Structure 1
Amino acid sequence: MAQRTLRVATDVGGTFTDLVCFEIDPATGEPRIVTAKSDTTPPDFEKGVLNVLDKAGIDPRDVRFMAHGTTVVINALTERKGVKVGLITTEGFRDTLEIARGNRPDFFNLHYEKPKPFVPRHLRRELPGRISYKGEELKPLDLSGLPAILDDFRSEGVEAVAICFLHSYADTAHEKAALEEVRRLWPGVSVVSSHQITREWREYERTSTAVLSAYVQPTAERYLSRLHNGLKEKGLPGSPYIMQSNCGVDSLESVSKIPITMVESGPASGFWGAAELGKLIGEPNVLALDIGGTTAKCSLIEDGQVRIMTDYWIERDRTSAGYPIMVPVVDLVEIGNGGGSIAWVDDFGKLHVGPQSAGAMPGPAAYGRGGTEATTTDANLWLGRINRDYFCGGEVVADMEAARKAIEAVGVFALVGLVEGGGDFG
């Protein structure tokens, strides 16, 4: 009897974990597609993947190819749920990360404030040594001060270290030496150097990319390691491939070392799918919109092609320069607002939504799982834009009373009343 051929793709979002399985019947050659959805299970995201496999009735032992996408990295950046990072850089260049670029979009605003760097100044340290733009050593690297720097990092509660030296794109020797010495002096710490991610010029962008990768590295390493072990225990023959931000895939081992390459892992596959769907229906120009539980993304597809860019910035908008990430990424626009985004009122009585998300647990108040904060989903249910009688595909009974209380609580602070609704659909 011929063996079943299963190709599985899973995606972990801030609220739900999704699955699509493509199977070829060994007897008839007929294809079969299975889809499933289950709750995301933070902080143990791998449990959501195992749950959705069970829900779809898929035995990992039968899977011949598995691709995995995730929004864990971008959500950690958006919600500031990474770890404390220490930066080691070239002597005299510790403030590059904070000086940034003079590219502020709100150029004539005299009260403009730069985006706060992910590494505060007291955790940005320097080492003597210099490489020229030609890759020539102008000054030998001096690592004698590194033990004291790492001791300070430990005492400050640093969990990850980023290394970025001037002109290391031309010669990686200094960064490699520092990387190996950090690993020797501090076994087990998450550490990344800029040359592992990108070999392009522009000091600020490379530094920012290394710092953001270090910021999410411990979270990503734990998550991917547990995912690999959980699937192995269930009998998966190989290792899953991890979706990259450029619509490609890479090995789990490689991505664990430089997780910033999957910053837009989830949306990339969705936009690629939108481009292919456009080709099938004869629409090569598509505006694709992906609204998740934590963020919303939009991408313009022209002539059936997904555009890839290497000067990607997160949180860049009309008033903020954002943060650069120098890796190949699908060209998209993203905001920290999704179905689970929490509504809140600031000290001046102004209403905001996001970037904090209720996630899957407890989720929106209407989930009836103890959530008390109003979200976009609660508002849409109350206004009847979401059918409360078929909430989450009919799998969840919408707790409209909890939604009402959560929305009213926001209204008290915003000094506005509750709009009549109650979630009648029609």
Structure 2
Amino acid sequence: MDETHNGDTWFDIPPGSEFGVANLPFGVYSRTEDGPRKIGVAIGDSVLDVAAIAAAEGEDFAPLLAAEVLNPLLAAGRPTWRAVRERITTWLRDPAHRPMVLAHRLDRAGLHLHLPFEVADYVDFYASEHHARNVGSIFRPDSAALPPNWKHLPIGYHGRAGTVVASGQPVVRPCGQRKQTGEDAPSFGATRKLDIEAEVGFVVGTPSAFGEPVPIERFADHVFGVCLVNDWSARDIQAWEYVPLGPFLGKSFATSVSPWVVPLDALGHARLPSPPQDPAPPSYLMPDADWGLDIAMEVRLNGHVISRPPFGSMYWSAAQQLAHMTVNGASLRTGDFYASGTVSGPEPDERGSLLELTWDATEPLLLGDGTHRAYLNDGDVVTISASAPGPAGTRIGFGEVTGQVLPATA
């Protein structure tokens, strides 16, 4: 377990910062919008040009950090991830490295942040029992809230890697077919029910061989770290198209990802048991370790807090999701990315989507500025942030994933 905390560094970190020496998340930045992209590590209000420091220090892993995306580092595997993290921690703890580190320190506020890794495949799950029950109650009020397979396996769908976008990139209101209750036929046009889904994402580093499942105990050998996700959703398009094959155009137009990837090794103090599972899952999904994560999320709409979903309440863990995703022999590739599905808790103010928060527009949400929302309006800005427990009472921050809705173009 990583025992470093913010007091173990000579580096000037503002009090209460969630980017302390116990965190050290990786991202990709540029000094200008179109300038060269470099790998950086966030510390306090700063970003370290870790490639330059590693090269100057003669580190053997320096070439991995000289890329424009994290993928070479991700592919290097867990022993290298740990060695890089330990070395960066040493730079920040040993004053002998102070001149070199400060020579390659940049103010985070002045940088442009980008999608930190090149996405290979994208999978989205449906792992919150509270969310699944809410959705079932809304759409199938006269039937069982959960589908019959829900407690036997982590339900998911294969998404579109090419529309995973960086935080801050605007999202254009999508068009498609939608059919409202009472309409005789579907119509084509812009979605009337543009929604959000507050999720947590997991970034795969080490690949696996085709035809060989990844056992649940190998989760930490393959997953590099954790980020935040907004899986934008067009509910009316989704509702018309998803039978019988599941989400398609209602989901594939955009999935926003936060710019910082928090290493799994930074989350030792956030681990907790997943909720009890009944019935017991099959053996390949039986946990060998506690991989629930105590991540506190916050969703803001135009600056107003509308929800605080608790990730610790998720029924299926990220380790179980990875094991299920590969049990048929599907191989992992460096840069594979999978998301938890909407995070919702048991309370009304812990629901991670507007579908639930407004009960499909029947109970519009009152914002702090006196306006109401059923679903998103053009111009709305959605921001999701999160933090987790760190050592010695510190918090591990994930930063933010944000996006603004632009009008439809069709």
Q: Indicate the TM-score class for this superposition, using the shorter chain for normalisation.
A: under 0.3
> TM-score with structure 1 length normalisation?
0.23
Report the structure number with the largest CA radius of gyration. 1
In terms of fraction of residues, the more helix-rich structure is 1
